[in-house]
Amino acid sequence: MEKTLSPAWPKALCDPSGRRQAKPRDKGCTMVIDKGLGLGAFADLLDTSGDYIDIVKFGFGTSPLYPLHILREKIELALRHGMTVIPGGTLLETAVKLDLVPAFFHQVTSVGFNGIEVSDGTISLDREQRNELIKEGVALGLRVFTEYGKKIFGSRINVKDFAETAEQDLLCGADLVTVEARESGRGVGLFDERGDCREGDLNVILNVMPNLNRVLWEAPLKEQQVALIKSLGPDVHLGNIPVQDVIALETMRRGLRSDTFELQRTVAVDYMI
């Protein structure tokens, strides 16, 4: 028997806010952290949530631990879905420590990554080294995402230093500057030991940073995502999103969850999502 296709949902129900861009987008990007998904699970993720993922980060130093053909297949799948795919910043930090930066860049481009993360969450990078890594990535045609902050529990954001670092990173060619929060989202950067947003720190950053549209906030926990969406709007860039939370985050960006219901328009109008 021939199957009958279900009618599409009304556009206003898909995005009651009327604000979400389709991919490729430069507002409200979502970066997902993949901590070791198998090929089948990764393909399922992209089939169900691919429209809402802009950046996939293979977390920490996981990339070299995959069988090479699996790594390449995962990267190719993500690229076909219009995503930027990057290895975790810890891998580049390891390459710096072991004096293997040229080999790192060679392998990154060989296996198909189209972006990298430049960070110093565990090691120390002076400004000159940081500039060189950013510029090398850009010269190779990679999108470069830098990261600000240390991974040490209890570390805070020095707003003046953050603003200066971000400005220099962007001048060197970085696409976005990420605020460190680790995968836990607790006791690092913008979030206290319970994972609550340090509202005072956030308000200072909002008043000092001139390029907030170039900042990506790591926010792995739901309440952190809610706080940032309410403070900066649904077009805030958010990262380190667990793979199982991608669609849930998208509902909050669109006003399809009670936490951000106020984002909805009051009158349904005809618009494209």
Look at residue 16 and tell me if it is in a domain.
no
Q: Does residue 77 lie within any of the structural domains?
A: yes
* pLDDT computed for residue 228 by the predictor: 95
Residue 1 has a pLDDT of 44
> Chunked in runs of 10, what are the mean pLDDT values of the chain (273 residues)?
69 93 95 97 98 97 97 98 97 98 98 97 94 98 94 83 94 96 83 88 86 93 95 95 97 96 72 43
Q: Look at residue 6 and tell me if it is in a domain.
A: no
- CA–CA gap between residue 83 and residue 71 (Å, rounded): 15
213 lies in a domain? yes
Question: What's the rounded Cα separation, in Å, for the pair 180 and 101?
Answer: 22
**How distant, in Å, are the alpha carbons of 97, 161, 216, 257 from that of 144?**
20, 20, 12, 33
Predicted pLDDT of residue 32: 98
Per-residue pLDDT, 10:
92
- What pLDDT score was predicted for residue 273? 40
pLDDT of residue 261: 95
Would you say residue 100 lies in a domain? yes
Query: Is 174 part of any domain?
Result: yes
Q: How many domains does the chain have?
A: 1
Q: Tell me, yes or no, whether 206 lies in a domain.
A: yes
Residue-level pLDDT at 268: 52
Range of the domain at 69: 25-260
State which amino acid sits at residue 237: H
Question: Which amino acid, residue 260?
Answer: T
Cβ-in-10-Å burial (0-12, 13-18, 19+) of 29 comes to buried
**Is 266 part of a structural domain of the chain?**
no
Question: 10 Å Cβ neighbour count for 250?
Answer: 21
Q: What's residue 192's pLDDT? A: 87
Please return the burial class of 266, using the count of CB atoms within 10 Å of its CB with bins 0-12, 13-18 and 19+: exposed
Report the CATH number at residue 240: 3.20.20.70
